[in-house]
Structure 1
Amino acid sequence: MRMLLALMVLLAGLACSPAAEVALGDPTPAVGPVGVIESLAEETGGGVFRRMGSDPPTIDPHLTTDTSSAEVVVEVFSGLVSFSTDLRLVPELAERWEISPDGLVYTFYLRQNARFHDGKPVTAYDFEWSLNRAVDPKTASPVVETYLGDIVGVVDVIRGRASRIRGVEVLDDYTLRLTIDAPKAYFLAKLTYPTAYVLDRENVESGGPQWADTPNGTGPFRLAEYRVGERLVLERNDLFYREPARLKRVVMHLAGGQSMAMYENDELDITGVSLFDLDRVLDPNEPLNKDLVVAAPSFSISYVGFNVNQPPFDDRNFRRALAFAVNKPLIADEVMAGQVVPAYGILPPGMPGYNPDLVGLRFDPELARRLLAESKYADPATRPPIKLTIPGTGGSVSLD
């Protein structure tokens, strides 16, 4: 069973300032990617899933900062905890944990059935080495202080004042203790980021600078093949400590191309539907219509941000005038063909903390005119020009 995903996750909009933010968000989908993968796995009996992809800048978890890398890294490696599909913190390599009454000490009890891809057991010593490797200035992780900086001693190592993290302790082979500098409710969530993932020391040290070309991870898939600019293949890890993946193999095509044409030529099992093709696939008489499902929401907001230190955006009334002048419902319905909905806050639907009752700044052309008249840039003759530069690709001109 192959699937077309209607791009209900497209987001666009305008953000003005903390006092004036507008954007376009996405509606709640009818069917999500998890259902798509399950259907494919059932139909193919754990066969091959083919999709488009892009070359990951890195497969080293401790250097990962982008989604192209992360979508491979999270399948090949893992950490102490992770998020479920409904964004709940769940056990990963740690089967459980305890938090001290003062909120400073976290004790993790590792799964004793966890193995690296080559069959070696995963121990607390592996995590100790991995965390110290992540914060080592020689590793040069660009985000390590953000995600691990709460652990006592991490900043000292990053700044070159110490060689080991004081707040990381091994109690026994399967028990790890982390001490943080202050109680923080979000600390566990930070550990879901690849910076905190465990690595196989022998794999890293023996492999040299190119060790990630043959990674010995702990995730549900192992890297079977990677040819830059051509394809990347993930194969199921049958030693996975949780339920093994239902797909035997995932093939990511990296050479580019027109994904809809490749789907119609049976080269892909799934593809998004651009606005260019949407009317065609929505036609009940179109054979592709039977493959159409709605994509799950992406937890993001796209927006245009203002540099409030640069004229004319240094004037609050001018920023608010622009916000009230944007007809987001019109953009959502006419320009984006109903594939997005206006958003009036920084959190999209489905994200913890999302407030469906938030009013925000709605389209109000009369108020926009009044605010513009009250700003110091009311006179168009003296108003600084506004130049908007956006990225775009030939394959998505209609969306840019």
Structure 2
Amino acid sequence: MKKILFAIFSVCLSFSLLLSGCGYAPGDTAMPTGDNVLTLIGEEPYTLDPAKVSDISSVTYIYQIFSGLLKMGDDLTPVADIAESWEVSPDGLTYTFYLKPNVKFHNGRVVTAADFKYSWERAASPETASGTVLTFLGDIQGVTEMVQGQATSISGVTVVDDLTLRVKLVSPCSFFLSKISYVTAFVVDKNNVSQGSGWWKKPVGTGPFTLTELTQGNYIVLNRNPDYYDTPAKIASVIFRLQSGQPMDLYELGGVDVAAVTADYLAKATDPDGVFAADLQVVPQLGFYYFAYVTSKAPFDDPKIRQAFSMAVDKARIIELCYKGSVSVAEGILPPGMPGYNPELVGLEYNLERALELIAESSYGSVENLPTITLTTSGWAGLLAPELEAVIDQWRQNLGVEVIVRQIDMELFLYDLQTEKDNLYYSGWVADYPHPQDFLAVLFETGASYNSGDYSNPEVDALLARAAATLDTHESMQLYAQAEQLLINDAACFSFWFGKNYMLVKPYVKGYKLNAMGIPILTEVTVEDH
């Protein structure tokens, strides 16, 4: 999560860590053994550096190894983590955090407020080249100046004493606490980082698990941190198998304890009379999948062309054919379950006649005058998700427009999209924290780091700014609703579908769950004798 912008995997319904290929050799003597070990499927991490990570798979490992001042609670509000309490000034500009005493890094060193100041300044340093720091820490005085090389420290962060950190904001921000629950704000050990660019392969965090083994293309092993400042994990170890088969095949053979259900296995997994009926869990996902129009490039610099492309696709039919009711059509941007979700929002309906009229009314006048249109997506070898193929076919059949597809390797898609994007791209976004700002402003505000479509609308910007500064929740949500409707009316993107997580969990695994952001919470898991 970048909030995570990430690539669409061709036929997958779940984009959590559980979704990839897997594998260590079952007879590997280096593996933890016994009944108190959980075996999952994992992806190769791109990085385990909290300041640089953007893909959801790597973020999932980071949540197990590192931690921050706050974390997101089950009720979708920030709760204490390393900070035991905090105070906010009446004007909403100053936050004072009081750290728990004797919180330790995995190497035994006690965490202090100075470690947070170091971690945040490292994230803001131009040398780190973090793609997330402005999104998550940019409200703090001095962060922008440091990122731009105009300062060598963050002026708005003060170490009062070993257990007290004072933070001053540029302007009131009603969701600041939610922002710093994300991994960019997690604390890292300076001595660990000083070991060189590969430090993250042997990370020293503060989380409930320690990284014991990371063998490229084979496996990752996490062991319980016995000195964890909160309640220690109940399981002794977690094994993540990498790159060795299909998740469902491994699950059926007993090679893993949990597996995500991909589209081609969905009918089998959801059969109420089938062998997996008792194992199936369906979890709502705060995720949004969409086509982003790059508005800085022709022809999507013209809103009428964007609207025409959106209205020329019968997305309800495509989603029903491809996913058979397992996901829902997205009319807006905020998914169901997200604070601020607006069921009354009016989308751009499928209307081929109006779509053709819009093209005629546009500055291009006719499809014959449109430039070559290339869509950027993740993947390889020309293998496309069936829903993507269907959308491209409807543009061809309904508008007479041939859209070329260019694929970027899945591992690099998130990190290279800003420089590699073409005229439009297909991707998804899962909440980093459950707040409308994480979707509407992060993806569409002028100049935002993840606004890869280069969308800009002063009216939307003004509404987002007012919503961010408004401390009254009801008023703030009304402003976000207005901004979302404007974005849809202007076809800032083509909203496509909202996701769900379908997963199988062995009956002897208890307490396994995903949080609202799709991250597995492993501290409460137990593995019974089997």
Q: TM-score, normalised by structure 1?
A: 0.80
1:217 and 1:99 mapped to 2: Cα distance?
27
Q: Is residue 81–residue 91 contact of structure 1 (8 Å, CA) maintained in 2?
A: yes
> What is residue 218 of structure 1 aligned with on the other side?
206
Cα distance 1:105–1:257, how it changes in 2: closer, same or farther (>3 A)?
A: same
Matched, 1:61 2:50: yes
- State the SS of the aligned residue for 1:155: helix
Matched, 1:208 2:187: no
> What is residue 99 of structure 1 aligned with on the other side?
88
Shift of 1:233: 1.1
Amino acid at match of 1:347: L
Cα distance 1:286–1:216, how it changes in 2: closer, same or farther (>3 A)?
A: same
> What is residue 87 of structure 1 aligned with on the other side?
76
Residues 133-212 of structure 1 mapped to structure 2, 5 A cutoff: 133-205=122-194, 207-212=195-200
Encode CA deviations 1:71-101: one digit per residue, 9 max, x unaligned: 1111111111121244211111101101112
Q: Is residue 312–residue 352 contact of structure 2 (8 Å, CA) maintained in 1?
A: yes
Cα distance 1:139–1:315, how it changes in 2: closer, same or farther (>3 A)?
A: closer
1:46 and 1:246 mapped to 2: Cα distance?
12
Encode CA deviations 1:141-161: one digit per residue, 9 max, x unaligned: 233233223322333433444
Bigger relative contact order, structure 1 or 2, given CA contacts below 8 A and separation 6+?
1
Q: Is residue 199–residue 216 contact of structure 1 (8 Å, CA) maintained in 2?
A: yes
Identity %: 43
Bigger mean CA offset, 134-143 vs 105-114: 134-143
Q: Is residue 319–residue 387 contact of structure 2 (8 Å, CA) maintained in 1?
A: no
1:269 and 1:96 mapped to 2: Cα distance?
37
Structure 1 stretches of at least 4 aligned residues deviating more than 6 Å after TM superposition: none
Matched, 1:261 2:249: yes
Q: Give 5+ residue unaligned stretches, structure 1.
A: 1-10, 13-25, 27-32, 34-43
Amino acid at match of 2:245: G
Larger Rg: 1
Bigger mean CA offset, 336-345 vs 284-293: 284-293
Amino acid at match of 1:346: I
> What is residue 288 of structure 2 aligned with on the other side?
301
Shift of 1:224: 1.2
Cα distance 1:229–1:371, how it changes in 2: closer, same or farther (>3 A)?
A: same
Matched, 1:325 2:301: no
Cα distance 1:275–1:200, how it changes in 2: closer, same or farther (>3 A)?
A: closer
Matched, 1:234 2:207: no
> What is residue 391 of structure 1 aligned with on the other side?
378
2:332 and 2:325 mapped to 1: Cα distance?
19
Question: Alignment RMSD, CA only?
Answer: 3.0
Q: Is residue 82–residue 90 contact of structure 1 (8 Å, CA) maintained in 2?
A: yes
What is the aligned counterpart of 1:275 among 227, 248, 263?
Answer: 263
Q: Is residue 208–residue 232 contact of structure 2 (8 Å, CA) maintained in 1?
A: yes
Encode CA deviations 1:245-281: one digit per residue, 9 max, x unaligned: 2332221112242111111111111212222222233
1:329 and 1:99 mapped to 2: Cα distance?
46
Encode CA deviations 1:307-350: one digit per residue, 9 max, x unaligned: 33544434433332332232222122222211111111111111
> What is residue 343 of structure 1 aligned with on the other side?
330
Q: Is residue 76–residue 222 contact of structure 1 (8 Å, CA) maintained in 2?
A: yes
Cα distance 1:260–1:367, how it changes in 2: closer, same or farther (>3 A)?
A: same
Cα distance 1:289–1:184, how it changes in 2: closer, same or farther (>3 A)?
A: closer
